[in-house]
């Protein structure tokens, strides 16, 4: 595809007008002011008038199959929400339920310009199949909940981890990766956690873990582990000896932030989920000042309840201004970077997340002719504060169209929606029968 005379956010996230961008295979092959001399080799010419080409987005923390729980458990405190609503529902979810729910998440993400996501859940083969078919990318992991202090090798989930690192990591031309994970400190113990971290090191993979989401979690951790915070506990056991995503980090202190920065941990900031579950506001300004890579996540659909990362980007830029009473905090560029390049870095996709020659063609094209885009005094400001995910008209992942003008080339959206509705109703019936 050759984008003709189109506005772009360049590799420095600066706004450039009247650019030509050529995509060859999975790569951005050409960016320039003029039509390339060998234009014909790019195939379709895409008219760029009224469009903005920007890097696609990378969702650094979600639970894709939780689309089945969208709107199911509302207005509850986190621990009640998790233990009394989410876990019983999830206990009824089969592998095929996970497959269809993940496909719906992929469709929704592609529709809103997201091409890749870090996904913590179960039934990895079924999730991987959905990601593969959708054309998207994902860093999958499966989250041991281990209340007994025994090595991970003694838990049934270990077989899935071993199988996934052998057969799923690197599949679909590297679009799908598999990595290590524990759900969180409060659902684990020293022995199991340490063997998971050792396993990640042994396989040279990455880690993904929920960290300091609530004040309650941090207080409990300090009690359980001689005053250590979740960040300190994780570090002491080797969780950060490999590149890691720490999701949430709402209740981290200066010492924690120093550790996260020093160890090159990416914080997946989930502003919508943290507010919806009343967990608090992550100190992202301090993190950014300390040099922490802050990426953005939607979290699962039971606590957001959508995969529109444009909303999370808006909240990231907006919230610190309100909570710190300082309108200078978080620039539009910092927010766009978090939604794009920072997430690609978090996923170990070093050649992704920027509109740059030689980078993967992971691109989102926005219709900027809508009322909320007028006038364009500052493009980045419009992208952060005036846009909606629904402005996306085209999403490319590794150079392939995964969404365009209301259609998904690789997903039968009507069938996916019908399956999701039917499967959600079945699980709710099963839960009701159990109560009776
Ligand atoms: Zn989560």
CATH assignment at residue 223: 3.20.20.140
- Same domain, yes or no: 237 and 285: yes
Measure 35 CA to ligand 1 centroid, in angstroms.
Answer: 45
Q: How far is CA 51 from the centre of its chain?
A: 25
Measure 66 CA to ligand 1 centroid, in angstroms.
Answer: 10
Domain final residue pick, 346, 369, 384: 346
* DSSP tag of 82: I
Measure 119 CA to ligand 1 centroid, in angstroms.
Answer: 9
Measure 288 CA to ligand 1 centroid, in angstroms.
Answer: 21
Phi–psi pair at 227, nearest 5 degrees = 85, 0
Query: By the 8 A CB rule, do 101 and 334 touch?
Result: no
- Same domain, yes or no: 49 and 81: no
- Same domain, yes or no: 82 and 178: yes
Measure 299 CA to ligand 1 centroid, in angstroms.
Answer: 5
Query: By the 8 A CB rule, do 303 and 348 touch?
Result: no
Q: Is 104 a domain residue? A: yes
- Same domain, yes or no: 190 and 335: yes
Measure 301 CA to ligand 1 centroid, in angstroms.
Answer: 10
Measure 3 CA to ligand 1 centroid, in angstroms.
Answer: 37
Q: How many CB atoms lie within 10 A of CB 295?
A: 29
Q: Assign 424 to helix, strand or coil.
A: helix
Measure 259 CA to ligand 1 centroid, in angstroms.
Answer: 21
Q: Is 410 a domain residue? A: no
Q: Is 43 a domain residue? A: yes
Q: Is 276 a domain residue? A: yes
- Same domain, yes or no: 252 and 292: yes
Measure 275 CA to ligand 1 centroid, in angstroms.
Answer: 13
Q: Is 336 a domain residue? A: yes
Measure 25 CA to ligand 1 centroid, in angstroms.
Answer: 34
Measure 362 CA to ligand 1 centroid, in angstroms.
Answer: 25
Measure 349 CA to ligand 1 centroid, in angstroms.
Answer: 21
Task: Give the separation between CA 333 and CA 12, rounded to whole angstroms.
Answer: 9
Q: Is 386 a domain residue? A: yes
Q: Into how many domains does the chain fold?
A: 2
- The radius of gyration of the chain from alpha carbons, rounded to an integer in Å, stands at 21
Helix 124-134 × helix 157-167 angle, to 10°:
30
Measure 62 CA to ligand 1 centroid, in angstroms.
Answer: 6
HSE-up of residue 7 (Cα within 13 Å, Cβ side): 15
- Same domain, yes or no: 340 and 194: yes
Query: By the 8 A CB rule, do 34 and 4 touch?
Result: no
Measure 308 CA to ligand 1 centroid, in angstroms.
Answer: 16
- Same domain, yes or no: 26 and 136: no
Measure 187 CA to ligand 1 centroid, in angstroms.
Answer: 13
- Same domain, yes or no: 264 and 380: no
Measure 190 CA to ligand 1 centroid, in angstroms.
Answer: 21
Q: How far is CA 109 from the centre of its chain?
A: 10
- Same domain, yes or no: 171 and 306: yes
CATH code (residue 380) = 2.30.40.10
pLDDT digits (tens, 9 = 90+) for 85-112: 999 999 999 999 999 999 999 999 999 9
Domain final residue pick, 327, 346, 365: 346
Matching residue, tokens 């008209």: 393
Q: Please list the pLDDT of the chain residue by residue as tens digits (436 residues).
A: 999 999 999 999 999 999 999 999 999 999 999 999 999 999 999 999 999 999 999 999 999 999 999 999 899 888 888 899 999 999 999 999 999 999 999 999 999 999 999 999 999 999 999 999 999 999 999 988 898 999 999 999 999 999 999 999 999 999 999 999 999 999 999 999 999 999 999 999 999 999 999 999 999 999 999 999 999 999 999 999 999 999 999 999 999 999 999 999 999 999 999 999 999 999 999 999 999 999 999 999 999 999 999 999 999 999 999 999 999 999 999 999 999 999 999 999 999 999 999 999 999 999 999 999 999 999 999 999 999 999 999 999 999 999 999 999 999 999 999 999 999 999 999 999 987 7
Nearest Cα to 61, choosing from 289, 285, 338? 338
Measure 120 CA to ligand 1 centroid, in angstroms.
Answer: 7
Task: Give the separation between CA 21 and CA 157, rounded to whole angstroms.
Answer: 45
Measure 392 CA to ligand 1 centroid, in angstroms.
Answer: 25
Q: How far is CA 71 from the centre of its chain?
A: 20
Measure 271 CA to ligand 1 centroid, in angstroms.
Answer: 12
Query: By the 8 A CB rule, do 214 and 76 touch?
Result: no
Measure 184 CA to ligand 1 centroid, in angstroms.
Answer: 10
- Same domain, yes or no: 326 and 378: no
Domain final residue pick, 305, 325, 346: 346
- Same domain, yes or no: 115 and 182: yes
Q: Is 306 a domain residue? A: yes
- Same domain, yes or no: 363 and 328: no
Measure 317 CA to ligand 1 centroid, in angstroms.
Answer: 21
Measure 63 CA to ligand 1 centroid, in angstroms.
Answer: 6
Structural domain for 18, as ranges: 2-55+354-404
Measure 52 CA to ligand 1 centroid, in angstroms.
Answer: 31
Q: Is 419 a domain residue? A: no
């Amino acid at each position: 595809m050759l984008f003709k005379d189109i506005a772009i956010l360049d590799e420095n996230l600066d706004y450039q007008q009247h650019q030509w961008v050529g995509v060859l295979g999975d790569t951005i092959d050409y960016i320039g002011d003029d039509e390339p001399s060998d234009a014909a080799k790019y195939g379709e010419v895409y008219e760029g008038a009224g469009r903005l080409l920007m890097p696609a987005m990378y969702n650094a923390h979600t639970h894709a199959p939780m689309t089945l729980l969208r709107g199911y458990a509302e207005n509850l405190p986190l621990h009640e929400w998790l233990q009394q609503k989410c876990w019983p529902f999830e206990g009824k979810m089969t592998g095929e339920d996970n497959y269809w729910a993940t496909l719906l998440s992929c469709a929704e993400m592609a529709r809103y310009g997201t091409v890749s996501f870090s996904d913590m859940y179960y039934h990895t083969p079924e999730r991987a199949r959905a990601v593969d078919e959708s054309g998207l990318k994902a860093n999958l992991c499966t989250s041991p909940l281990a209340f007994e202090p025994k090595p991970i090798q003694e838990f049934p989930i270990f077989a899935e981890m071993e199988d996934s690192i052998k057969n799923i990591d690197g599949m679909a031309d590297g679009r799908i990766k598999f990595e290590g994970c524990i759900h969180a400190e409060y659902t684990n113990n020293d022995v199991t956690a340490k063997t998971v971290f050792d396993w990640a090191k042994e396989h040279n993979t990455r880690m993904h873990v929920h960290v300091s989401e609530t004040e309650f979690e941090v207080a409990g951790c300090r009690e359980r582990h001689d005053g250590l915070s979740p960040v300190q506990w994780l570090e002491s056991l080797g969780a950060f000896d490999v590149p890691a995503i720490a999701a949430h980090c709402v209740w981290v202190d200066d010492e924690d932030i120093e550790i996260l920065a020093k160890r090159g941990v990416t914080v997946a900031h989930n502003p919508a989920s943290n507010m919806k579950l009343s967990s608090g506001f992550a100190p992202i300004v301090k993190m950014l000042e300390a040099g922490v890579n802050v990426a953005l996540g939607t979290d699962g659909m039971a606590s957001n309840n959508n995969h529109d990362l444009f909303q999370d980007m808006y909240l990231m830029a907006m919230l610190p201004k309100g909570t710190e009473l300082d309108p200078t905090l978080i620039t539009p560029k910092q927010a766009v970077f978090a939604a794009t390049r920072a997430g690609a870095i978090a996923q170990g996709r070093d050649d992704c997340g920027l509109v740059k020659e030689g980078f993967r063609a992971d691109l989102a094209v926005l219709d900027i002719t809508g009322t909320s885009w007028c006038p364009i005094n500052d493009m980045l400001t419009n992208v952060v504060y005036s846009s909606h995910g629904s402005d996306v008209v085209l999403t490319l992942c590794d150079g392939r169209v995964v969404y365009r003008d209301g259609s998904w080339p690789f997903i039968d959206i009507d069938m996916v929606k019908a399956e999701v509705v039917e499967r959600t109703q079945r699980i709710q019936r099963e839960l009701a029968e159990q109560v009776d």
